[in-house]
Chain A
Amino acid sequence: MTLKEVVNNVASMPASKDAVVDIKNLSLTFQTADGPVYALSDVDLTINEGDFVSFIGPSGCGKTTLLRVIADLERATGGDISINGVSPEQARENRAYGYVFQAPALLPWRSIERNVTLPLEIMEISKEERIKRAHDALKLVELNGFEKKFPWQLSGGMQQRASIARALSFDADLLLMDEPFGALDEIVRDHLNEQLLKLWARTNKTVAFVTHSIPEAVYLSTKIVVMSPRPGRIIDVIETDFPRDRSLDIRETPEFLEIAHRVREGLRAGHSNDE
Chain B
Amino acid sequence: MNQMKLDKFCLVGAIAALLALIFPLAGVDLDTGKQVAFVGDIPGLAIAMALCVIAGAAFTWIGVRSVLSGTVLLAVAVFGCWQAVSTLYDHGVAGYAGTGFWLFIISLWAFVWRGIDVIANYRSLETAKQQTANVIVPVAFGMWLLFVWEVLVAGFGVPQVLLPPPSMIGVRFVTSTDVMAADFYQTFVKAVLSGYVLGCGSAFVMAIAVDRVPFLKRGLLPLGNMVSALPIIGVAPIMVMWFGFDWQSKAAVIVIMTFFPMLVNTVTGLNAAGKLERDLMATYASGYWSTLFRLRLPAAMPFVFNALKINSTLALIGAIVAEFFGTPIVGMGFRISTEVGRMNIDMVWAEIALAALAGTAFYGAVAYIERKATSWHPSFRVRRH
A residues near B (Cβ < 8 Å) are: 71-73, 92-95, 97-99, 101-103, 105, 107-109, 118-119, 121-123, 150, 152-153
Contact = CB atoms under 8 A, between A and B. Distances in A.
Contacts of B123: none
Contact of B285 (A93, A98, A105, A121): A93
Contacts of B132: none
Contacts of A101: 276, 279-280
B280 to A, nearest CB: 5
Contacts of B374: 109
Interface string B280-303: 111111100010001100100100
B384 A153 contact: yes
Given A150-B376, A153-B383, A153-B385, A107 B279 contact: no
Interface in B299-326: 301
Given A73-B282, A122-B284, 14 more contacts: A71-B283, A94-B285, A97-B283, A99-B279, A99-B283, A105-B274, A109-B301, A109-B374, A109-B376, A121-B294, A123-B284, A150-B376, A152-B378, A153-B383
27 contacts: A71-B283, A73-B279, A92-B283, A92-B285, A95-B284, A95-B285, A98-B283, A99-B279, A99-B280, A99-B283, A101-B279, A101-B280, A102-B276, A105-B274, A105-B277, A105-B280, A107-B295, A108-B377, A109-B298, A109-B374, A109-B376, A118-B294, A122-B286, A122-B290, A150-B376, A152-B378, A153-B383
A140 B154 CA distance: 76
Given A101-B279, A108-B377, A109-B374, A119 B284 contact: yes
Interface of B: 274, 276-277, 279-286, 290, 294-295, 298, 301, 374, 376-378, 381, 383-385
A115 to B, nearest CB: 10
A218 to B, nearest CB: 28
Contacts of A150: 376
Contacts of B294: 107, 118, 121-122
Contact of A108 (B286, B376, B384): B376
Most chain A CB within 10 A, of B276, B279, B280, B290, is at: B280
A107 B277 contact: yes
Contacts of B381: 152
B284 A105 contact: no
Nearest to B378: A152
Contacts of B385: 153
Contacts of A122: 281, 284-286, 290, 294
Most chain A CB within 10 A, of B282, B283, B377, B384, is at: B283
